[in-house]
Amino acid sequence: MSNNLSAPDPAELSSSVGSGSNNMGVELANERAQFLEMEEVNFTDNELVYHVRTALKSASSGDSESYDELIGVMHHRERLSPDEVAMLVTCLKALSGTVSCIDVVHHESLLSSIFGMSMWNYGPEVMDALVDLIISLAASSGKFVDSCLDMLIRNFVPPYSYLALLKQPRGLSRKDQVLSRVHSALESISHLVPLAPMRLLSLVIQRMPRQNDNETVMMTYVENMFKLESGSMGQLVGSTMLIAVVDRLLDLDLEIGWEDIVQDDSSKGIFEMELEDLEEDEEDLNDEGDELPGKHLSRNSLRGNVIAEKLDSLLVLTFEYLESCQGHGRLLEVFETLLHSFRITVLNAYKSKFAQFVMFYACALDPENCGVRFARMLVDIFVCHDHPPMTRMSAVAYLASYLSRGKFLSANYITTMLKRLVDWCLDYCNVQDGDVNPFAHRVFYAGCQAIMYVLCFRMTSIMSIPRLKSQLFLMPIETILKHKSDPLKVCLPSVVGEFLKQARAARLFTVTKTFIFDDILESELSRAFGGLERLDSFFPFDPCLLKKSDSFIRPNFIFWSMVKTTYDDDEDRDEDEEGSGDEDGEESVDGVGEDRRDRMATSFNEQDIDIEEFDYALNKMSITPKQSLMYKFGGGLEELVRMPSRIRPSTSPESL
């Protein structure tokens, strides 16, 4: 067959041939010159189809010569010459016309070569022909539908050899060509086979790259999943796609060893902790030890690093997708799916680290709808007895962290949410009469701690609005906190300490007995109420440590250093520079102060801000010691060396 084929004369093509295959004559006519040596035998489309049909039929009965030739053409892959391309296109088109003759058993090798083809290896003409063939196959018989869908799904990502090329413009244009065809093929198939999306769903999920797969592969695949979500099949497959992406985010998140890196020894200063880690890194680089935490931090954190980068990229991809959804006015419907997914997976996941920032960012994009909806869902879970205590505690921890950190939330709304928490706690107080019992009253303690935590961040901003200030004063917070079960003793000491300090300064209320905390992060009682999961020290929206994601989150985020506390006027200045002519009494709404600390923070470049924030964060409010994480992920040695010098006030430029 390969010897006899030549370009058919366009004039020979009869008008009875379908419009789709008319292009063939035109295309091949361009290649005419190359065929001059061969016999000038002209085939019309019909004759080609007939020829292929015969080849297939004879293969069924044992004579497989033409059939083998056909398969041989399929296997040409790299650097096809123009006549090879033409040959391939011709074969594919002829096959499209003979799909009804293709038998799943007798023509297995042909089918496997077709399904094994990767569109990334070819140019647009071959892509088009191949796609047409796949669509025809899928529509012709139920037996081929799954394989066709599978083949298209496998074309979501390029073959490994192609991955490096993706970054070049050539690779990007090829990607565009392939993916647009793949998705339109999927749509065509669902048009002809209405139940195809159902099969597509399960296949896409099955083939989704796992945590350990190559990062580019995963990102490209997820891009495709998002494309499906926003495409015409979106209503049918969209929510499953989103849920699967969130699941994968969570999988990556949970791979990062929280326990591997967290240092439980809270008596050490931060810098000592970091410098120690640094030494350990150098020692353990070549160590082949086991994977216990502490001793071999470097190996674990390096491993976490790769995963963290993947998580970072995936989060950024999701953020960008949310932005595009917002652009198309679809954010709210996408958000509903995300909310549902959050509720059934992330909320109950053991200390999810960063996956929840998807919700944060979505809320930031649309505070009035998404932002409100999210908080309301969390409060509803907290106050509802139907949910298990763990879920309720987790919900209120999310709520507290969210209300404190969301720059886009109005003081008014925060006050409303606070009121709901306070009301519930008050009801609880009126009903319960028990003594200190961290386990029995754990949901209550979680609620109290949430109220205190939010007020640590937001007290000033609430106080600055007279109407809200009076609402705050009317709230029976004192009654709740001075209840027999003694939340002030049980809740996290650092939170309680900071809260009391601010409450006294604001004259919200005072306590008669003094609480001496000495900057202890946690106590036995708090650990008891927090339980095994340590929900007492769970602040899910603490600063995001993933570099790329953080650049999205940062503009919408309140760092502790930005918060103006009620006792700011009397605040000691051991860590601020001197000589600034700034007035302390500057009022600002929403806690974003113009004070010295904030100015210092914003005048640094991006990297330094991280260090600055974390330093303050650890010292003040953020309980979980994350400095070491930061250094493993994003920083190099430079920051470590520089940081101590930044803290010394006299050498920081802003002090001058």
Partner 1 sequence: MEGLKVSDANLVVFLHPSKSNRVSKAVLHELSSHLFQFSEIFDGVLLAYDVDIVDRNAKLLSGIHPYIGVRLKAKLLLFSPKPNMLIEGNVVKLTPESIHVIVLGFASAVIIDEDVREEFEYRTKHGKEVYRSKAHRRHVIEVGTMVRFLVKSLDREILHICGSLEPSNTGSIHWLDQNFGSGTKRERENEMKMQEHAVVGGEEISLGNDQSKKSKKRRLREES
| Interface positions with partner 1 (CB under 8 A) | 15-20, 49, 97-100, 136, 139-143, 145-146, 191-195, 198-199, 232, 234-235
Rounded Cα–Cα distance for residues 313 and 155 (Å): 21
CA distance 287 to 523: 36
Give the residue with the Cβ less far from partner 1, 231 or 304: 231
The nearer residue to partner 1, 3 or 15, going by C-beta atoms, is 15
Give the CA angle between residues 348, 353, 358 to the nearest 5°.
Answer: 85
Q: Output 49 or 480, the one with its CB closest to partner 1.
A: 49
By beta-carbon proximity to partner 1, the closer residue of 22 and 432 is 22
* E-state strands within 521-621: none
147 vs 464, which CB is nearer to partner 1?
A: 147
Q: How far is the CB of 159 from partner 1 (least distance, A)?
A: 29
Quote the least distance from Cβ 191 to partner 1, whole Å.
6
In the complex, the smallest distance separating the C-beta of residue 140 from partner 1, rounded to whole angstroms, is 6
User: How far apart are CB 19 and partner 1 at their closest, in Å?
Assistant: 6
Residue 557, phi then psi, degrees to nearest 5: -115, 145
* Nearer CB in complex with partner 1: 91/365: 91
Residue closer to partner 1, measured from CB, 70 or 417:
70
DSSP assignment of 612-650 = HHHHHHHHTT--S--HHHHHHHT--HHHHHHHHHHHSGG
Least Å distance, CB 328 to partner 1, is: 12
CB of 236 to partner 1, least distance (A): 8
DSSP state of 387: S
Which CB, 50 or 162, lies closer to partner 1?
A: 50
CB of 112 to partner 1, least distance (A): 20
| Pair 342, 243: CB distance under 8 Å | no
In contact, 70 and 1? CB cutoff 8 Å: yes
- Torsion over CA of 48, 51, 57 and 61, rounded to 10 degrees? -150
Q: How many CB atoms lie within 10 A of CB 611?
A: 20
Instruction: Please provide the DSSP assignment of 415-441 as one string.
Output: HHHHHHHHHHHHHHHHH----S-TTTT
CA gyration radius, the chain: 32
Rounded to a whole number of angstroms, the minimum distance from the CB of residue 79 to partner 1 is: 33
Residue type at position 61: S
Q: At closest approach, how far in Å is the CB of 45 from partner 1?
A: 9
Specify whether the CB–CB gap between 454 and 418 falls below 8 A.
Answer: yes
Tokens of 43: 């085939």
Closest CA relative to residue 396, chosen from 221, 539, 521 = 539
Of 61 and 470, nearer to partner 1 (C-beta) is 61
Nearest distance in Å: CB 104, partner 1:
11
Nearer to partner 1, 15 or 605 (CB): 15
CA-CA distance, 652 to 639, in Å (whole number)?
14
For residue 596, give Cα distances in angstroms to 404, 545, 587, 588, 646.
21, 24, 13, 13, 15
